[in-house]
Homo-oligomer: A and B are copies of this chain.
Amino acid sequence: MNSFGSKFRISIFGESHGTAIGVVIDGVPPGVELSEDDLRGDIARRKSGARGTTQRKEADVPYILSGTYNGRTTGAPLTVLFHNKNTVSGDYKNLADHPRPSHADFVAARKYLGFNDPRGGGHFSGRITLPLVAAGAVAKKLLKGISIEARTVAIGGSSDPVQFDRIVSAALADGDSVGGIVECRATGLPVGLGEPFFDSVEGLVSHLVFAIPAVRGIEFGNGFGAAALRGSQNNDMIVSESGLTATNNAGGINGGVTNGNDMVFRVAIKPTPSIALPQQTFNTRTGRVETLEIRGRHDACIALRAPVVVEAALAIALAQFI
């Protein structure tokens, strides 16, 4: 299903090359000041992160279709729409026959019996993260006193930000792409958000984060590092009434519930599967492995534009508990 959440429920719709994409948000309380201007900052961050040769040019102008009146939310469903303008749909018929490796082309065609919209990936497109970012911007407004910040902390194996631009440029020059890691931190969280078992903070955050195309992993606090430690090394000693801990290996969560310390998690982003380099892969029409060459646009490093999407996922998850 394409909806998520109970208290702050989002329903996402649209295709990459359709008329428009958007999101309906249910559960926004009345009286919150909100206009398209409140969404533009995050939308611009998502866009500016893009790095590629012939990247699609879209204005990404949000339009609030319902749910506000006189500049404030009404309590009724809030709908944000983005019109698709610059949609030059190339030879997607060809991709349906000759699916791109590690892309959703193959599974989409099988799952939807060939009826999926193949243009630009259709509903499987990374473009659908745009309404997610808009929903995240709305959610952030509801999280009073909580600040959320994500950034790219590794690209192509390097954790030196100075190198990031060079690494991406080199990949781009080769017609290739690179992966990276995004780290997200939330401060100002109260103790007690999250539910034991199925609505743990990690459960909801990871559920949403894996909706972002290209995400391959998530870890909270010291994450996979904790697997190599002893309890005496990993435990965070509480040092004050408020629950402050001397270390924060837990990344701000115990038993699925926020413990009042900063929440920290990292997300692994794979390199874009769409690359300009020729690839050998199966052609279902000819029944043979053949060379596939993809012309035109590709994003060389999704990890650069992913931070604001990861922030959105966290904000939407936390909005379920506030």
Contacts and interface: CB of A to CB of B under 8 A. Distances in A.
A249 B102 CA distance: 9
A277 B107 contact: no
A124 interface: yes
Contact of A26 (B3, B22, B78): B3
B237 A20 contact: no
B171 A230 contact: yes
B243 A106 contact: yes
B287 A241 contact: yes
A322 interface: no
Contacts of A164: none
A210 B123 CA distance: 28
Contact of A77 (B31, B123, B228): B123
Contacts of A254: 102-104, 106-107
A74 B123 contact: yes
A196 interface: yes
Contacts of A6: 6
B122 A230 contact: no
A303 B236 contact: no
Nearest to A14: B66
A281 B237 contact: yes
B2 A238 contact: no
B234 A107 contact: no
A154 B228 CA distance: 8
Given A1-B199, A116-B76, A275-B231, A210 B216 contact: no
Interface size, A (range): 35 or more
A268 B11 CA distance: 31
Interface string A195-210: 1111110111011111
Contact of A238 (B106, B207, B217): B106
A255 interface: yes
A231 B177 contact: yes
A268 B15 contact: no
Given A203-B210, A227-B303, A237 B279 contact: yes
B230 A215 contact: no
14 contacts: A3-B26, A13-B76, A13-B77, A13-B79, A15-B67, A103-B255, A104-B254, A104-B257, A108-B255, A110-B192, A111-B257, A174-B232, A176-B230, A241-B284
Interface of A: 1-4, 6, 9, 11-15, 18-22, 24, 26-27, 30-31, 65-67, 69, 72-79, 99, 101-104, 106-108, 110-113, 115-117, 119, 122-124, 128, 154, 156-157, 171, 174, 176-181, 191-192, 195-200, 202-204, 206-211, 213, 215-241, 243, 245, 249-251, 254-259, 268-275, 277, 279-282, 284, 287, 289, 303
